[in-house]
Amino acid sequence: MRETVWVCMGIAASLVACGVAQGEEPRVDYLRQIRPILADNCFRCHGPDEAARQSGLRLDVRELATAPADSGQPAIVPGSPEQSELLRRVTSEDPSERMPPPETKLSLSGAQIDLLRRWIAQGAHYQEHWSRTPLRRPALPSRSPWADEDHPIDRFIDARLQEQQLRPLGKADRYHLIRRLYLDLTGLPPDPEEVDRFIADRSPDAYERLVDRLLASPAFGERMAWDWLDAARYADSNGYQGDAERTMWPWRDWVISAWNRNMPFDRFTVWQLAGDLLPDATDETRLATGFCRNHMINGEGGRIPEENRVDYVMDMIETVATVWLAATMNCARCHDHKYDPFTRRDYYSLFAFFNQTPVDGAGGNPQTPPVLEVPTEEQRVAVTELEGQLAKLRAELLAQEKTLLEGSSPDSLPEEVRTILQHSPDKRDADQWQRLDKHLEGADSYRQLAARWREWKKRYDQLRREIPRVMVMADRDEYRPTYMLEKGLYNRPAEEVFADVPQCLPPLGEGGKRNRLALAEWLVRPDNPLTARVVANRLWQQFFGTGLVRTPEDFGTQGEPPTHPELLDWLACELIDSGWDIKRFCRLLVTSRAYRRDSRATPELLEADPENRWLARGVRYRLPSWMIRDQALAASGLLVAQLGGPPVFPYQPQGVWEEATFGNKSYRQDRGAKLYRRSLYTFWRRIIAPTMFFDVASRQVCTVRVTRTNSPLHALVTMNDITYVEAARELASRQWRAFSQEGADRLLESLFRRVLVRPPQASELEILRAALARWEAYYTAHPEAAEALLSVGEAPRSAGPATQLAALTVVAHTLLNLDEALSKE
Amino acid sequence: MLWQDPLAREVTRREFFGKSATGLGIAALAWLLGRDQAQGAGRVGGLDGLPHFAPRAKHVIYLFQNGAPTHVDLFDYKPKLKELHGQPVPDSYVAGKRFSTMTGSPQGKLLLAPVEPFKQRGACGAWVSDFLPYTAEIVDELCFIKSMHTDAVNHAPAICFLLSGGQIPGRPTLGAWLSYGLGTENDNLPAFVVMTSVSKGTTCGQIFYDFYWGSGFLPSRHQGVKFRGSGSPVLYLDNPAGIDPGVRRGMLDDLAALNRLKWDEYGDPEIGTRIAQYEMAFRMQSSIPELTDLSGESPATLALYGPDVLQPGTFAHHCLLARRLVERGVRFVQLMHAGWDQHNSLTTELYTQCKDTDQPSAGLIKDLKMRGLLDETLVIWGGEFGRTPFLQGNLADRPRWGRDHHPYAFTIWMAGGGVRPGLTYGETDDLAINVVKDPVHVHDLQATILHLLGIDHERLTFRFQGRDFRLTDVHGRVVEGILS
């Protein structure tokens, strides 16, 4: 069905593109119309995979498809469908000749066969796959007739709308705009005061100034971080059996800070993949490489360390391939990629870049070296101070010991004591100290000094233990050779390979080291056709709900082609030419009219474009669950907006961890402020993810695709999780304190605005008014229920009449569960 | 995602037409109520065109035995093993085979006779050891497959392989495929339910990973809903303090009224689905407690499942709930019971393990049969691989005898919907090490299960990362020999 739509669009598009007069045969587009047919039906046996190739026929390369196959017949004779074996075989009635063979259960439709015939008749022209063609900045289409102000993105979008004969909707109202913008750029809703200011600001650049304010807010980095953590498979535990806790959170804080500082994306890339190899490497650049080490660690008994190590390296390169190249490199682990020109050799050549770390894969240590100590500022100060103290004490101690050793006769100082004293004080164990104490009973000043030394040393050791250690990257001195692995098995090495980039992409270049740094720099080189497109697409997805390419993880032939290929290329060029300026890029997206459009779908638009691919209307979709939670906390006033730090343990139903881990892990819920931190800081146990989120990445492997489902289990969370009920009662209490003197309507209106930003319509207010009256009557009759409701959660129950507060709480809870509250609109 | 979800797409279309014709569409409301006549009586969701042919079973209960039960001591009787007890395993049986690192090289390992005696049982004469007296009573209902074999040698990858067709997490599991393809018959309950338990006093527990019931790349509403062993069986099911069902109902009415205003104004079909799902959540708040209220079960029924049946979190309790779930139309029930990993506890923990599972499993079959549900329910009992016919440990130290992981042969049984009762299918060699007749690979088992549900395993596919994925990858053939 979708295939058909595509074909139609393709034809429509090429009609327009070529300006073909009616009646003339339209030109068949290889990439949009032919390649998908061949890829789905033929490439498995007649494609890039050499091992699987049948009959010496390869159809994905024109020179080979038009050359004689094993049979002596060329599959394709350009210009002559009649002489083309391909066409004879797909139309053959003889099951032994028919392609694809009947046992594959694949078959071509009449329309597909007709397309093939016309394509061959027109000369069977091939094109390079769109995502690997060199990036060239497309010319801007002309200004659209609807444009009240000019924006390059809208020129591209509107050009396609004209082709589709769709008329875009106007701008959303300011209430919708400010909510949309706040949620997209900070993940939080705006304060009512901020809304009032924006509504009142009639200056022409009010919107742009709002954008700049939000880009400068620290919450921007937190919002951007979530998607990056999904891609980086960040978690606070190892995964697998044991699921030991790790301390990668300083890396997470670094990510937030990098987004907030607007670190150019090319540097962001190089630091995370190879910050340890930079000539001027610092602790910060090394910390950034924690990205690579966020993979799961398997501590299961009976596993072979080398097998684990190989798994980790595979995870690293598959993550890199997805995040920067949108390449499904994992398909080439065991054989050449079936659809894209990535070979098994390419896979293991990438593997070689990451195969040089000293990690050995043994055990489940969540701080498997190499690690980096990342002290907080206080810890750093304390360490320096203690080290100074210890140095001073050590000098005194050694001086006194020297005197003891030199000034005592062998009788008064037995050999045993002499031996101990010759050990450095740092190396002595408790037993040795005890023996010293015993033998030197008379030497009080020495013993006091030694006791002080031990005390300070203990404090120092304790402090050092408390400093978080982040797993980072390093290459070992000795080169580890890399072999292609049969079936991807660690113990089936075949031919040796060397570090290199996939052969179908621009070469790494001669000279210089072929290490991770070279790879990282190659990824962000302007002639890399993929990275900028892939990153631009993911950012588009973040603001428009789906990418211009709807398969952000796959830009290969089996992924979807972009709806707006020229726009994607233009955006990618913007990204590179701006020096990979992310904030500037975000600003570019949100200032377009396409972003600012009204999202009310007319029946006509719904029928013409049900999935809103052409963006004639504004996007509307359910918010990520973490944002729904943050929104509830923010609206209620409970949110604690502290940036960074160790993970927190908010409300979670009892027993969930215990059950999943046979009682080995107990969830110790936090108290006080930590219950109200942003969702980003919630402790992420890999084998049992936080239960209050839904449709989230598992954080087990790299995920760049958004899941958006609509399930009853989600409704149960937002209706019954303590977080939401407590938020509702706090929201109600605060509004009641501020507005109860001004009448029910004013109260309901302020409540409504606190959640949905816009004021309610009369019909909505009517429903809320009736609800409030109903619940007041109910809680008057059930005072104990009112008290119970007002005691949910740990925030103290606020002063005020129970019936009214409880009634208002139910209304607030209803509002928090509205589809509009759960959605970006 | 909306665009790849046929159900959601169908709503889009239907609601659109309904809406433009009559304001708020009648058809849309009918869908909201989950009563879609076009899909056939009682069915909610699923793909058009499925089942591909008349199904033999409508429901599945998978009694998954995590940790790998020892086929050597329970089902696969080999007199020669007794004869060669204590002798080194002949090289010809194990040459070139990979075992777990705990075994390392199998060379020179000593063969170990079954711990308990075997007998032929029932009219069909199937071999079952004294470890499983209750299973022994029902062999005439069962179909044993003694020639199972798999590709994986460690627990998590092997379980993942059996349930999802891939060793690496990320593919949809059997239940998710069925929910996606066939929908469900009761929209007061999820289509795919999971319950996990662990043997009493086991020292070697395996973790239950959520990818054992994951939906992979299928829309996540198809993932298994895991009932919990303690507290509320579904998370967040209970109303908060101070909100009784009446208040909740009123709240949902207000919510629906407000959402409908929004729907009229914005036309977004997701709003309609949202209203429906909140209603489903509300129904689950009562259907789940009703499901778990066992007060109506007769003492005779309870006795079938053994002494643990009323204790939440036990395998016995879950077996009874499984029957109640399929009775209510749930498509796929996956019970997972851990503790079968007898590396050094064949003469100790294996007894407890069998005691925990034997009677409830047999009781479930009897109960289903008595209620006429066995014909339409496929029950599968088995683990992720077998155990080595040779010893792990020291021959002189009987209390610490064990067997290691063995992927080359293992036994499972199936019963009910469409499988031949009283049949023993496939054969291993005289030491139970390798399959010698009618091998059944994991993908074959998967193909067969789908076949019994009326599905051609090659035609139930989902496009992801540019590939049409299916449960059986690119393999699998239906095991015709076990079909009734």
Render pLDDT for A259-280 as a digit per residue (tens, 0 to 9).
Answer: 999 999 999 999 999 999 999 9
Q: Does B277 touch chain A (CB under 8 A)?
A: yes
pLDDT at site A24: 56
In a domain, B244, yes or no: no
Closest Cβ opposite residue A302 in set B5, B101, B247: B101
pLDDT at site B258: 97
CATH number (domain holding residue B421): 3.40.720
pLDDT at site A447: 86
What backbone phi and psi angles, to 5 degrees, belong to A302?
90, 0
* Strand B423-425 to B142-149 pairing: parallel
Section A91-107 average pLDDT: 85
On chain A, the residues whose CB falls within 8 A of the CB of B280 are 712, 715
Buried b (16+ CB within 10 A) or exposed e, B74-83: bbbbbeebee
pLDDT at site A263: 98
Helices (H), A625-670: 625-636, 656-660
Helix axes A206-216, A174-186, angle to 10 degrees: 20
A688-699 pLDDT tens trace: 889 999 888 889
Average pLDDT across chain B, whole number: 87
d(CA A507, nearest CA chain B) in Å? 26
Confidence of residue A4 (pLDDT cuts 50, 70, 90): very low
As beta bridge partners, residue B463 has B468
Cα–Cα distances in angstroms (integers) from residue B142 to residues B378, B416, B421, B480, in the given order = 11, 8, 5, 16
d(CA B227, nearest CA chain A) in Å? 11
Asked if the Cβ–Cβ distance from A603 to B268 is below 8 Å, we say no
Closest Cβ opposite residue A607 in set B16, B206, B229: B16
In a domain, B262, yes or no: no
The fraction of chain B above a pLDDT of 90, given in percent, is 66
A617-675 pLDDT tens trace: 999 999 999 999 999 999 999 999 999 999 999 999 988 888 777 788 999 999 999 99
B199 vs A41, which has greater pLDDT?
A41
Mutant choice from A176, A719, A789 vs B, greatest count of B C-beta within 10 A: A719
If you count them, how many residues does chain B have? 484
pLDDT at site A705: 87
State which residues form the domain around B449.
42-230+312-482
Confidence of residue B232 (pLDDT cuts 50, 70, 90): low
On the question of pLDDT at B118 being above 90, the answer is: yes
Asked if the Cβ–Cβ distance from B220 to A661 is below 8 Å, we say no
Confidence of residue B202 (pLDDT cuts 50, 70, 90): low
Tell which B residues from 419 to 478 touch A, by Cβ distance under 8 Å.
458-459, 465-468
Q: Does B281 touch chain A (CB under 8 A)?
A: yes
pLDDT at site B466: 62
Whether the CA torsion A233, A238, A240, A243 is positive or negative: it is: negative
On chain A, the residues whose CB falls within 8 A of the CB of B266 are 599-601, 620, 825
In a domain, B285, yes or no: no
As beta bridge partners, residue B225 has B193
pLDDT at site B156: 83
On the question of pLDDT at A149 being above 60, the answer is: yes
Confidence of residue B108 (pLDDT cuts 50, 70, 90): confident
Asked if the Cβ–Cβ distance from B280 to A712 is below 8 Å, we say yes
B11 vs A669, which has greater pLDDT?
A669
pLDDT at site B463: 78
CA nearest neighbour of A526 among A569, A478, A468? A569
pLDDT at site B104: 67
pLDDT at site B102: 65
pLDDT at site B210: 77
Number of folded domains that form chain B: 1
Section B406-428 average pLDDT: 97
Kindly state the tokens that stand for B309: 């049946």
Section A195-204 average pLDDT: 97
d(CA A238, nearest CA chain B) in Å? 13
In a domain, B344, yes or no: yes
d(CA B432, nearest CA chain A) in Å? 23
Give the residue carrying structure tokens 């030694």: A450
Section B72-83 average pLDDT: 97
B164-177 pLDDT tens trace: 999 877 789 999 99
Section B69-85 average pLDDT: 97
d(CA B385, CA A501): 40
CB-based contacts of B317: which residues, under 8 Å, 6+ apart? B197, B305, B308, B309, B310, B311
On the question of pLDDT at A726 being above 70, the answer is: yes
Identity (one letter) of the amino acid at A821?
A: A
On the question of pLDDT at A434 being above 70, the answer is: yes
Section B272-291 average pLDDT: 89
B148-165 pLDDT tens trace: 999 988 888 899 999 999
On the question of pLDDT at A17 being above 50, the answer is: no
* DSSP tag of A647: -
On the question of pLDDT at A499 being above 90, the answer is: yes
On the question of pLDDT at A16 being above 80, the answer is: no
Q: Residue A173, class by beta-carbon neighbours within 10 Å (0-12 exposed, 13-18 middle, 19+ buried)?
A: exposed
The fraction of chain A above a pLDDT of 70, given in percent, is 97
Kindly state the tokens that stand for A597: 């459009």
Q: Is A556 left (phi over 0), alpha (psi -120 to 50) or beta?
A: beta
Asked if the Cβ–Cβ distance from B267 to A810 is below 8 Å, we say no
pLDDT at site B36: 38
On the question of pLDDT at A202 being above 60, the answer is: yes
A444 vs A183, which has greater pLDDT?
A183
Q: Does B337 touch chain A (CB under 8 A)?
A: no
Confidence of residue A10 (pLDDT cuts 50, 70, 90): very low
On the question of pLDDT at A454 being above 60, the answer is: yes
B464 vs B473, which has greater pLDDT?
B473
A548-580 pLDDT tens trace: 999 899 999 878 889 999 999 999 999 999 999
Asked if the Cβ–Cβ distance from A601 to B266 is below 8 Å, we say yes
On the question of pLDDT at B275 being above 50, the answer is: yes
In a domain, B377, yes or no: yes
Confidence of residue A526 (pLDDT cuts 50, 70, 90): very high
d(CA B125, nearest CA chain A) in Å? 38
In a domain, B307, yes or no: no
Confidence of residue B462 (pLDDT cuts 50, 70, 90): confident
Q: What is the interface pTM, i.e. ipTM, of the complex?
A: 0.87
B232 vs B314, which has greater pLDDT?
B314
Nearest residue of chain A to residue B313 (CA atoms): A659
On chain B, the residues whose CB falls within 8 A of the CB of A688 are 210
pLDDT at site A302: 74
Asked if the Cβ–Cβ distance from B231 to A653 is below 8 Å, we say yes
d(CA A709, CA B2): 8
d(CA B193, CA B288): 12
Section A585-613 average pLDDT: 93
In a domain, B250, yes or no: no
d(CA B92, CA B38): 59
d(CA B326, CA B185): 9
Asked if the Cβ–Cβ distance from B281 to A716 is below 8 Å, we say yes
d(CA B255, nearest CA chain A) in Å? 6
A749-782 pLDDT tens trace: 999 999 999 999 999 999 999 999 999 999 999 9
Kindly state the tokens that stand for A320: 């890199």
On chain B, the residues whose CB falls within 8 A of the CB of A691 are 235-236
On chain B, the residues whose CB falls within 8 A of the CB of A2 are 3
On chain B, the residues whose CB falls within 8 A of the CB of A700 are 169, 211
Section A459-474 average pLDDT: 95
On the question of pLDDT at A436 being above 90, the answer is: no
Give the residue carrying structure tokens 């229920």: A785
Average pLDDT across chain A, whole number: 91
Tell which B residues from 111 to 170 touch A, by Cβ distance under 8 Å.
154-156, 169-170
Closest Cβ opposite residue B267 in set A2, A601, A778: A601
Sketch the domain layout of chain A as residue ranges: 2-127, 152-219+578-621, 259-361+477-575, 375-467, 720-824
Taking the C-alpha atoms of A295, A298, A303 and A305 in order, what is their torsion angle to the nearest 10 degrees?
50
Cα–Cα distances in angstroms (integers) from residue A822 to residues A446, A670, A749, B361, in the given order = 69, 26, 19, 44
On chain B, the residues whose CB falls within 8 A of the CB of A722 are 240
